[in-house]
Amino acid sequence: MRKKRIMVVGPKGCGKTTLVNAINDYDGPLRRTQDTIYGPNTIDVPSAYIENAWMYKHMIALAQDAWCMLALVDQSRCAEVYSHGFARAFRCPVIGIISKSDLAPENETVCIRQLKMIGAAEPYFKVSVPNGTGIEELKRYLSELKER
């Protein structure tokens, strides 16, 4: 049986790899790549998969190895990249993450609206990896969710 992981998706530059490194307790250099990266606890999905609807089929296939998905929206740039009802395409829970929550706080309501539109489950987590905001709360929630 394959190990189930946390799948992390989002647009380019939204902080996916930085969040993945925090979840995996990895403190090394940031490595940008266009490949899917399987970490100890995560699947880091390239932004191209979310930015091109025709690639959703690849995400659906990757989700077979996931017990949950984190859908990131970048509070510093509120570009809408997800299709309406995006979360319904997956059998695992889709959790909404507002990344870079320390930047552009006036965009928070737009981010929440996007997460609701795609069907991401509440609660939504506001995180800022450089500041350490929300990371431990998210890890605790994921741990509790996995135990259910």
pLDDT in tens, 109-146: 999 999 999 999 899 999 999 899 999 999 999 999 98
- Say which DSSP state 128 is in: B
Containing H/E element for 99? strand 94-99
What's the mean pLDDT in 24-39?
81
Q: Count of CB atoms within 10 A of residue 47's CB?
A: 18
| Calpha distance 12→61 (Å, rounded) | 21
pLDDT in tens, 8-24: 999 999 999 999 999 99
Which of the listed CATH numbers 3.40.1180.10, 1.10.8.10, 3.40.50.300, 1.20.272.10 matches domain 5-147? Answer: 3.40.50.300
pTM of the model: 0.94
Asked if the model's pLDDT at residue 61 lies above 90, the reply is yes
Q: Any idea where the domains of the chain sit in the sequence?
A: 5-147
Where residue 2 falls among pLDDT bands split at 50, 70, 90? low
